[in-house]
A and B are shown apart, each in its own frame.
Chain A
């Protein structure tokens, strides 16, 4: 790609796998677990975080030379809070049901550690364009895990994807249900998300032994 140099492309590629914000950097777990019972909510959450992180990184990067380091946390919080209010109002206006499902978790994007972590680690020391790419890359890495967890929890837990039944009708016993398949209600309860993420980490680390921790 002519638009992106190789170094820039790595900013987007790295967080997708080997430096994933959730499974490797352990940032932004809260929302990843709480809203992934449905695929649709996971996708919307991923897009919202991408908007906030991409724009926020640019804003912080533009202001990086004028923010006094002592009060930078508050400045960062205000920038994120403003962007999150925009997301929240847009969701309430155009997708009211979904904003009810996400409830307080839209507001909790403010304290999503990915955002503060990327501000601190990247945007404060790099130019706006590279910060923007870093923000998009990291939110993609976050979004991928969210979508994977949401996919499995909704498919196994309620037999639907994005609200559309894909395994047949559990009440009229069509499709898979006609041969005795049952929905796994366990996948709907919150602790299941932790176990699914744990399994993702397990798979990822057994494919790439360099990531294994020392207890």
Chain B
């Protein structure tokens, strides 16, 4: 249960699709002029991510991974089809999007009208394929966690596009230097929001260690000076721990 909660908050805030890895920036920039359309696209992204990530997890587990074909029989255990993952993932996503579009159109025309125009866009939204590829490279272990990962990264993307759309609606009334208007200022605001979201990095590791530290000090009754030193050390440790984690999660920064 704990790992579910941790993954949930980590994917929404710390490894946010938009601010930490820049996925789905194209539609993020193109469809964020009004809050209403941003909400529509965001909802569609949550839905499609929550469906495609678990599906691709099944594909990865039973078809693509090294030795994944062992369930067919011992003679298939040596196959490694992971080089096919791009083409299979994108085919799954395109088919699922098409399927979802047809089903929604048939059963809920009102939802289709508000959401439908965004669905074809989503097949080529990098956040969707990125979700599946990160799911594969982070080696998420169970089906439930994969579903959780898809859902929560979708929610993170939704939050990001909602926030920028709200800011862009307001910024229309302010006096931005002419060359920065539109795209330029949106980039810089997103950058600042990204820096803000970096501060969530201490949310999980930082909280846990602080609690442990408090217990230790009660038990050992260490002198105050030493305690300060250790807490300073702990903070430093925390920082390096976070850095390491971020690097391992996001090889790009190496």
Q: Is B231 an interface residue (CB 8 A)?
A: no
* B residues lining the A interface (CB < 8 Å): 19-26, 29-30, 83-87, 90-91, 94-95, 98, 120, 123-126, 128-130, 133-134, 137, 171-172, 176-185, 187-188, 190-195, 198, 250-254
Q: Is A30 an interface residue (CB 8 A)?
A: yes
Residue pair A104, B22 in contact (C-beta under 8 Å): no
**Given the contacts A77-B94, A107-B133, A108-B130, A194 and B187 also touching, CB distance less than 8 Å:** yes
Cα separation A5 to B133 with both chains bound (whole Å): 43
Cα separation A91 to B176 with both chains bound (whole Å): 43
Residue pair B19, A101 in contact (C-beta under 8 Å): no
User: Which B residues touch A33, using CB under 8 A?
Assistant: 22, 25
Residue pair B178, A73 in contact (C-beta under 8 Å): no
How many whole Å from B251's CB to the nearest CB in chain A?
4
How many whole Å from B168's CB to the nearest CB in chain A?
9
How many whole Å from A32's CB to the nearest CB in chain B?
8
Residue pair B184, A190 in contact (C-beta under 8 Å): no
Q: Is A105 an interface residue (CB 8 A)?
A: yes
User: Which A residues touch B128, using CB under 8 A?
Assistant: 111
Residue pair B254, A190 in contact (C-beta under 8 Å): no
Residue pair B251, A101 in contact (C-beta under 8 Å): yes
How many whole Å from B208's CB to the nearest CB in chain A?
23
Residue pair A215, B176 in contact (C-beta under 8 Å): yes
User: Which B residues touch A201, using CB under 8 A?
Assistant: 179-180, 183-184, 187
How many whole Å from A83's CB to the nearest CB in chain B?
10
Residue pair A81, B180 in contact (C-beta under 8 Å): no
For A, the interface residue count at a CB cutoff of 8 angstroms equals: 56
How many whole Å from B119's CB to the nearest CB in chain A?
11
Residue pair B126, A198 in contact (C-beta under 8 Å): no
Residue pair B86, A107 in contact (C-beta under 8 Å): yes
Residue pair A108, B133 in contact (C-beta under 8 Å): yes
Q: Is A125 an interface residue (CB 8 A)?
A: no
User: Which B residues touch A62, using CB under 8 A?
Assistant: none
- Complex interface bits, A195-215 against B, C-beta within 8 A gives 1, otherwise 0: 101110111111001001111
Cα separation A29 to B125 with both chains bound (whole Å): 11
Residue pair B195, A29 in contact (C-beta under 8 Å): no
**Given the contacts A26-B183, A190-B22, A194-B187, A78 and B87 also touching, CB distance less than 8 Å:** yes
Q: Which 10 A-B pairs have the closest CB atoms?
A: A191-B194, A213-B182, A194-B191, A198-B187, A205-B179, A29-B25, A206-B179, A195-B191, A104-B133, A198-B188
Query: Can you name the residue of chain A whose Cβ is closest to the Cβ of B182?
Result: A213
Residue pair A37, B253 in contact (C-beta under 8 Å): yes
How many whole Å from A162's CB to the nearest CB in chain B?
15
Among A102, A191, A204, residue most surrounded by chain B Cβ atoms (within 10 Å): A191
